[in-house]
A and B are shown apart, each in its own frame.
Chain A
Amino acid sequence: PKEKAPPVLPWRDGSPPAMPKEAKTQQPRFYPADDLPAPKEKAVQNLTKLRESITPGTVLILLAGHFRGKRVVFLKQLSSGLLLISGPFEVNGVPLKRVNQSYVIATRTKVDLPALPIGSIDDDYFAREAEEAQGEEGDRFFSGGAKATSTTSEKRKADQKAVDKLLVDAVGKVEMLEAYLQAKFSLSKGDKPHEMIF
Protein backbone atom coordinates (compact mmCIF):
# COMPACT_ATOMS: atom_id res chain seq x y z
CA PRO A 1 0.00 0.00 0.00
CA LYS A 2 1.13 3.50 -0.57
CA GLU A 3 2.83 5.35 2.22
CA LYS A 4 0.57 7.72 3.84
CA ALA A 5 1.57 11.32 3.77
CA PRO A 6 1.98 12.91 7.19
CA PRO A 7 -1.39 14.10 8.40
CA VAL A 8 -2.00 17.74 7.78
CA LEU A 9 -3.32 19.23 10.95
CA PRO A 10 -5.35 22.37 10.94
CA TRP A 11 -3.18 25.19 12.28
CA ARG A 12 -3.91 28.73 13.07
CA ASP A 13 -1.90 30.24 10.32
CA GLY A 14 -2.86 27.50 7.97
CA SER A 15 0.65 25.98 7.69
CA PRO A 16 1.33 22.59 9.13
CA PRO A 17 3.87 22.38 12.02
CA ALA A 18 7.37 21.33 11.01
CA MET A 19 8.02 17.66 11.65
CA PRO A 20 10.80 17.19 14.15
CA LYS A 21 13.93 16.23 12.30
CA GLU A 22 15.46 12.97 13.48
CA ALA A 23 18.93 13.46 14.83
CA LYS A 24 21.39 11.76 12.54
CA THR A 25 23.56 9.79 14.98
CA GLN A 26 26.46 7.61 13.98
CA GLN A 27 25.06 4.17 14.50
CA PRO A 28 27.45 1.28 14.07
CA ARG A 29 26.42 -1.07 11.37
CA PHE A 30 26.76 -4.10 13.65
CA TYR A 31 26.65 -4.38 17.36
CA PRO A 32 26.62 -7.44 19.64
CA ALA A 33 23.31 -8.99 20.60
CA ASP A 34 24.15 -8.93 24.32
CA ASP A 35 25.81 -6.14 26.21
CA LEU A 36 29.48 -6.79 26.65
CA PRO A 37 31.02 -6.11 30.08
CA ALA A 38 32.98 -2.87 30.16
CA PRO A 39 36.72 -3.53 29.96
CA LYS A 40 38.44 -3.12 33.38
CA GLU A 41 41.45 -0.86 33.76
CA LYS A 42 44.67 -2.82 33.61
CA ALA A 43 46.49 -2.83 36.93
CA VAL A 44 49.71 -0.88 36.61
CA GLN A 45 52.68 -2.77 38.00
CA ASN A 46 55.07 -0.35 39.62
CA LEU A 47 58.41 -1.20 41.12
CA THR A 48 58.20 -1.79 44.87
CA LYS A 49 58.54 1.56 46.56
CA LEU A 50 62.00 1.83 48.05
CA ARG A 51 62.13 3.33 51.52
CA GLU A 52 63.52 6.84 51.42
CA SER A 53 66.22 5.88 53.88
CA ILE A 54 67.64 3.28 51.49
CA THR A 55 69.91 4.71 48.79
CA PRO A 56 72.87 3.09 46.98
CA GLY A 57 75.69 2.84 49.49
CA THR A 58 73.49 2.66 52.61
CA VAL A 59 74.67 0.26 55.28
CA LEU A 60 71.81 -2.13 56.08
CA ILE A 61 71.36 -4.45 59.04
CA LEU A 62 69.96 -7.82 57.97
CA LEU A 63 67.27 -9.05 60.31
CA ALA A 64 66.51 -12.51 58.99
CA GLY A 65 68.09 -15.35 57.13
CA HIS A 66 71.48 -16.96 57.46
CA PHE A 67 73.23 -13.61 57.72
CA ARG A 68 70.95 -12.05 60.34
CA GLY A 69 72.70 -9.37 62.33
CA LYS A 70 75.26 -8.65 59.65
CA ARG A 71 75.82 -5.15 58.39
CA VAL A 72 76.01 -5.00 54.61
CA VAL A 73 76.15 -2.44 51.82
CA PHE A 74 73.13 -1.81 49.59
CA LEU A 75 73.98 -1.65 45.90
CA LYS A 76 70.77 -1.29 43.91
CA GLN A 77 67.15 -2.30 43.68
CA LEU A 78 66.40 -5.14 41.24
CA SER A 79 63.41 -5.23 38.93
CA SER A 80 61.56 -7.60 41.27
CA GLY A 81 61.79 -5.00 44.02
CA LEU A 82 64.39 -6.92 46.04
CA LEU A 83 67.57 -5.22 47.15
CA LEU A 84 70.97 -6.24 45.81
CA ILE A 85 73.54 -6.25 48.61
CA SER A 86 77.15 -7.21 49.09
CA GLY A 87 79.04 -7.67 52.39
CA PRO A 88 81.58 -7.00 50.90
CA PHE A 89 82.39 -10.71 50.88
CA GLU A 90 85.98 -10.24 52.02
CA VAL A 91 84.86 -8.15 54.96
CA ASN A 92 82.01 -10.15 56.45
CA GLY A 93 81.29 -13.13 54.23
CA VAL A 94 78.06 -11.87 52.72
CA PRO A 95 78.11 -12.36 48.92
CA LEU A 96 76.17 -10.59 46.20
CA LYS A 97 72.72 -11.37 47.45
CA ARG A 98 69.08 -10.42 47.15
CA VAL A 99 67.26 -9.27 50.23
CA ASN A 100 63.76 -8.02 50.93
CA GLN A 101 63.34 -4.47 52.16
CA SER A 102 61.05 -5.60 54.95
CA TYR A 103 63.75 -7.65 56.63
CA VAL A 104 66.28 -4.91 56.80
CA ILE A 105 67.07 -1.91 59.00
CA ALA A 106 68.50 1.02 57.06
CA THR A 107 71.20 2.84 59.01
CA ARG A 108 72.21 6.43 58.48
CA THR A 109 75.70 5.39 57.48
CA LYS A 110 76.29 5.68 53.73
CA VAL A 111 79.27 4.48 51.74
CA ASP A 112 80.34 6.69 48.86
CA LEU A 113 79.93 4.16 46.05
CA PRO A 114 81.90 4.41 42.84
CA ALA A 115 80.44 3.07 39.58
CA LEU A 116 80.11 -0.67 40.17
CA PRO A 117 79.91 -3.42 37.52
CA ILE A 118 76.39 -4.46 38.60
CA GLY A 119 74.44 -3.16 35.61
CA SER A 120 73.97 -6.63 34.17
CA ILE A 121 72.91 -8.18 37.48
CA ASP A 122 69.18 -8.60 37.79
CA ASP A 123 66.84 -11.25 39.19
CA ASP A 124 67.65 -13.82 36.51
CA TYR A 125 71.26 -13.74 37.75
CA PHE A 126 70.02 -15.42 40.91
CA ALA A 127 67.76 -17.96 39.20
CA ARG A 128 68.21 -21.50 40.41
CA GLU A 129 70.48 -23.46 38.08
CA ALA A 130 68.72 -26.34 36.28
CA GLU A 131 69.64 -29.62 37.96
CA GLU A 132 71.22 -32.30 35.91
CA ALA A 133 68.83 -35.02 34.84
CA GLN A 134 68.50 -37.42 37.75
CA GLY A 135 68.58 -41.14 37.26
CA GLU A 136 65.46 -43.22 37.82
CA GLU A 137 63.79 -42.74 41.14
CA GLY A 138 65.13 -46.08 42.25
CA ASP A 139 68.68 -44.91 41.80
CA ARG A 140 68.11 -41.97 44.07
CA PHE A 141 66.80 -44.14 46.89
CA PHE A 142 69.64 -46.59 46.70
CA SER A 143 72.46 -44.13 46.35
CA GLY A 144 72.40 -43.55 50.11
CA GLY A 145 71.01 -40.06 49.90
CA ALA A 146 74.21 -38.65 48.43
CA LYS A 147 73.45 -35.20 47.16
CA ALA A 148 75.54 -33.20 44.80
CA THR A 149 77.36 -30.63 46.93
CA SER A 150 76.51 -27.16 45.74
CA THR A 151 79.49 -25.09 44.81
CA THR A 152 79.63 -21.47 43.84
CA SER A 153 79.97 -21.03 40.11
CA GLU A 154 83.13 -19.43 38.79
CA LYS A 155 81.02 -16.68 37.26
CA ARG A 156 79.64 -15.73 40.67
CA LYS A 157 83.10 -15.66 42.19
CA ALA A 158 84.41 -13.50 39.38
CA ASP A 159 81.53 -11.05 39.63
CA GLN A 160 81.93 -10.90 43.41
CA LYS A 161 85.63 -10.10 43.08
CA ALA A 162 84.95 -7.41 40.49
CA VAL A 163 82.41 -5.66 42.69
CA ASP A 164 84.29 -6.09 45.94
CA LYS A 165 87.53 -4.67 44.59
CA LEU A 166 85.86 -1.29 44.24
CA LEU A 167 83.59 -1.71 47.25
CA VAL A 168 86.38 -2.54 49.70
CA ASP A 169 88.28 0.54 48.52
CA ALA A 170 85.26 2.71 49.14
CA VAL A 171 84.74 1.15 52.59
CA GLY A 172 88.43 1.58 53.47
CA LYS A 173 88.19 5.33 52.99
CA VAL A 174 86.03 5.75 56.09
CA GLU A 175 87.71 5.17 59.43
CA MET A 176 86.50 2.10 61.32
CA LEU A 177 83.86 1.33 58.70
CA GLU A 178 85.44 -2.02 57.81
CA ALA A 179 85.46 -3.07 61.47
CA TYR A 180 81.86 -1.88 61.72
CA LEU A 181 80.82 -4.08 58.80
CA GLN A 182 82.65 -7.02 60.34
CA ALA A 183 80.78 -6.66 63.61
CA LYS A 184 77.30 -8.07 64.03
CA PHE A 185 74.38 -6.10 65.35
CA SER A 186 72.57 -7.32 68.44
CA LEU A 187 70.31 -5.92 71.12
CA SER A 188 71.53 -5.89 74.66
CA LYS A 189 69.93 -5.09 77.97
CA GLY A 190 68.52 -1.60 78.15
CA ASP A 191 68.35 -1.11 74.40
CA LYS A 192 65.08 0.37 73.20
CA PRO A 193 64.92 -0.18 69.44
CA HIS A 194 61.97 2.15 69.05
CA GLU A 195 64.04 4.95 70.54
CA MET A 196 67.33 4.12 68.86
CA ILE A 197 68.49 6.02 65.85
CA PHE A 198 70.07 3.72 63.33
Chain B
Amino acid sequence: LVYIAASTMGYTRFVEVGRVCLVNYGPDSGRLCVIVDIVDANKALVEGPRSVTGVARQIIPFKRLSLTDLKCDIQKGARDQEVAAALEGADIIAKWESTSWAKKLAAKKKRSNLSDFDRFKVMIARKQKSRIVAAKMAELR
Protein backbone atom coordinates (compact mmCIF):
# COMPACT_ATOMS: atom_id res chain seq x y z
CA LEU B 1 0.00 0.00 0.00
CA VAL B 2 1.24 3.44 -0.84
CA TYR B 3 0.97 6.12 1.83
CA ILE B 4 2.13 9.14 -0.04
CA ALA B 5 0.10 12.28 0.38
CA ALA B 6 -1.20 13.85 -2.75
CA SER B 7 0.47 17.08 -1.79
CA THR B 8 3.98 15.63 -2.03
CA MET B 9 3.37 13.80 -5.29
CA GLY B 10 0.84 14.98 -7.85
CA TYR B 11 0.00 11.37 -8.65
CA THR B 12 -2.95 9.72 -6.97
CA ARG B 13 -3.63 6.76 -9.24
CA PHE B 14 -0.96 4.14 -8.59
CA VAL B 15 -0.31 0.79 -10.13
CA GLU B 16 -0.86 -1.49 -7.14
CA VAL B 17 -2.62 -4.69 -6.22
CA GLY B 18 -6.32 -3.90 -6.10
CA ARG B 19 -6.23 -0.93 -8.50
CA VAL B 20 -9.28 -0.96 -10.74
CA CYS B 21 -8.36 -0.31 -14.37
CA LEU B 22 -10.11 0.07 -17.68
CA VAL B 23 -8.76 -2.01 -20.53
CA ASN B 24 -8.36 0.40 -23.45
CA TYR B 25 -7.01 -1.83 -26.21
CA GLY B 26 -7.54 -5.35 -27.44
CA PRO B 27 -10.45 -7.80 -27.32
CA ASP B 28 -11.40 -6.76 -23.77
CA SER B 29 -11.31 -3.05 -24.47
CA GLY B 30 -13.93 -1.05 -22.59
CA ARG B 31 -14.05 -3.49 -19.66
CA LEU B 32 -13.01 -3.05 -16.07
CA CYS B 33 -10.40 -5.21 -14.38
CA VAL B 34 -8.45 -5.34 -11.14
CA ILE B 35 -4.66 -5.58 -10.83
CA VAL B 36 -4.00 -8.79 -8.97
CA ASP B 37 -0.20 -8.90 -9.21
CA ILE B 38 2.61 -7.04 -10.91
CA VAL B 39 4.86 -9.01 -13.24
CA ASP B 40 7.51 -6.44 -14.11
CA ALA B 41 7.83 -2.83 -15.19
CA ASN B 42 5.60 -3.37 -18.20
CA LYS B 43 3.04 -6.03 -17.33
CA ALA B 44 0.54 -6.89 -14.65
CA LEU B 45 -1.59 -9.89 -13.83
CA VAL B 46 -5.14 -8.77 -14.11
CA GLU B 47 -8.57 -10.27 -13.45
CA GLY B 48 -12.12 -9.02 -14.22
CA PRO B 49 -13.23 -11.26 -12.62
CA ARG B 50 -14.68 -12.90 -15.64
CA SER B 51 -18.05 -13.44 -14.02
CA VAL B 52 -18.32 -9.75 -13.12
CA THR B 53 -16.77 -7.79 -15.98
CA GLY B 54 -15.84 -10.41 -18.55
CA VAL B 55 -12.06 -9.99 -18.32
CA ALA B 56 -10.34 -13.33 -17.82
CA ARG B 57 -7.30 -13.71 -15.59
CA GLN B 58 -4.38 -12.71 -17.81
CA ILE B 59 -1.11 -10.86 -18.06
CA ILE B 60 -1.65 -7.56 -19.75
CA PRO B 61 0.79 -4.72 -20.47
CA PHE B 62 0.22 -1.40 -18.69
CA LYS B 63 0.02 0.22 -22.10
CA ARG B 64 -3.37 -1.42 -22.47
CA LEU B 65 -4.67 -0.23 -19.13
CA SER B 66 -6.09 3.08 -18.00
CA LEU B 67 -5.95 3.44 -14.23
CA THR B 68 -9.07 4.67 -12.45
CA ASP B 69 -9.49 6.35 -9.08
CA LEU B 70 -11.08 3.22 -7.68
CA LYS B 71 -9.27 0.64 -5.63
CA CYS B 72 -10.37 -2.50 -3.84
CA ASP B 73 -8.79 -4.36 -0.96
CA ILE B 74 -7.32 -7.70 -2.09
CA GLN B 75 -4.28 -9.78 -1.36
CA LYS B 76 -1.57 -10.19 -3.98
CA GLY B 77 -2.51 -13.09 -6.27
CA ALA B 78 -6.10 -13.27 -5.05
CA ARG B 79 -8.44 -15.80 -6.64
CA ASP B 80 -11.38 -14.71 -8.74
CA GLN B 81 -13.91 -15.35 -5.94
CA GLU B 82 -11.91 -13.12 -3.58
CA VAL B 83 -11.65 -10.38 -6.19
CA ALA B 84 -15.39 -10.63 -6.88
CA ALA B 85 -16.17 -10.41 -3.16
CA ALA B 86 -13.88 -7.39 -2.77
CA LEU B 87 -15.54 -5.63 -5.72
CA GLU B 88 -18.98 -6.24 -4.28
CA GLY B 89 -17.92 -5.21 -0.80
CA ALA B 90 -16.63 -1.85 -2.03
CA ASP B 91 -19.47 -1.52 -4.57
CA ILE B 92 -16.88 -0.72 -7.22
CA ILE B 93 -19.05 -1.36 -10.27
CA ALA B 94 -21.81 1.00 -9.10
CA LYS B 95 -19.23 3.66 -8.19
CA TRP B 96 -17.65 3.30 -11.61
CA GLU B 97 -21.01 3.62 -13.42
CA SER B 98 -21.68 6.88 -11.56
CA THR B 99 -18.41 8.52 -12.64
CA SER B 100 -18.60 10.97 -15.51
CA TRP B 101 -15.86 8.97 -17.25
CA ALA B 102 -18.09 5.93 -17.43
CA LYS B 103 -21.10 8.01 -18.39
CA LYS B 104 -19.22 9.58 -21.27
CA LEU B 105 -18.14 6.15 -22.53
CA ALA B 106 -21.72 4.91 -22.32
CA ALA B 107 -23.01 7.97 -24.19
CA LYS B 108 -20.43 7.47 -26.94
CA LYS B 109 -21.41 3.84 -27.30
CA LYS B 110 -25.08 4.73 -27.42
CA ARG B 111 -24.48 7.37 -30.06
CA SER B 112 -22.57 4.93 -32.26
CA ASN B 113 -25.45 2.46 -32.09
CA LEU B 114 -28.17 4.87 -33.15
CA SER B 115 -30.19 3.94 -36.20
CA ASP B 116 -31.10 6.42 -38.94
CA PHE B 117 -34.53 6.98 -37.33
CA ASP B 118 -32.89 7.54 -33.94
CA ARG B 119 -30.54 10.12 -35.42
CA PHE B 120 -33.55 11.90 -36.89
CA LYS B 121 -35.27 11.96 -33.48
CA VAL B 122 -32.09 13.31 -31.87
CA MET B 123 -31.93 16.06 -34.48
CA ILE B 124 -35.52 17.09 -33.75
CA ALA B 125 -34.88 17.02 -30.01
CA ARG B 126 -31.78 19.22 -30.34
CA LYS B 127 -33.71 21.72 -32.44
CA GLN B 128 -36.51 21.84 -29.87
CA LYS B 129 -34.00 22.31 -27.07
CA SER B 130 -32.17 25.12 -28.82
CA ARG B 131 -35.54 26.78 -29.50
CA ILE B 132 -36.41 26.74 -25.83
CA VAL B 133 -32.96 28.06 -24.91
CA ALA B 134 -33.07 30.81 -27.54
CA ALA B 135 -36.54 31.89 -26.41
CA LYS B 136 -35.35 32.09 -22.82
CA MET B 137 -32.24 34.04 -23.83
CA ALA B 138 -34.35 36.51 -25.77
CA GLU B 139 -36.55 36.87 -22.71
CA LEU B 140 -33.61 37.56 -20.44
CA ARG B 141 -32.17 40.17 -22.69
Contacts and interface: CB of A to CB of B under 8 A. Distances in A.
Nearest to B114: A197
Contact of B112 (A59, A61, A195, A198): A195
Interface in A178-198: 179-180, 183, 185, 195-198
Kindly state the interface size class of chain A when it binds its partner. Answer: 10 to 19
B110 to A, nearest CB: 11
A198 B115 contact: yes
A177 interface: yes
A156 interface: no
A108 B112 contact: no
B120 A180 contact: yes
Interface string B102-141: 0000000000111111001100100000000000000000
A62 B4 CA distance: 63
Contacts of A61: 116
Interface string B63-74: 000000000000
A107 B121 contact: no
A183 B121 CA distance: 11
Contacts of B117: 59, 107-109, 176-177, 180
A45 B116 CA distance: 35
A195 B112 CA distance: 8
Contacts of A196: 116
Contacts of B120: 176, 179-180, 183
A28 to B, nearest CB: 67
B124 A108 contact: no
A108 B114 CA distance: 10
B124 A176 contact: yes
Nearest to B115: A108
Contacts of B116: 59, 61, 71, 107-109, 185, 196-198
A197 B124 contact: no
Interface in A34-68: 59, 61
Q: Which of B116, B120, B124 has the most CB of A within 10 A?
A: B116
Contact of B121 (A71, A176, A197): A176
B67 to A, nearest CB: 29
A194 to B, nearest CB: 12
B84 to A, nearest CB: 34
A178 B89 CA distance: 50
Nearest to A105: B116
Contacts of B113: 197
Interface in A117-176: 176
A67 B102 CA distance: 43
Interface of B: 112-117, 120-121, 124
14 contacts: A59-B117, A107-B116, A107-B117, A109-B117, A176-B121, A177-B117, A179-B124, A180-B121, A195-B112, A197-B112, A197-B113, A197-B114, A197-B116, A198-B116
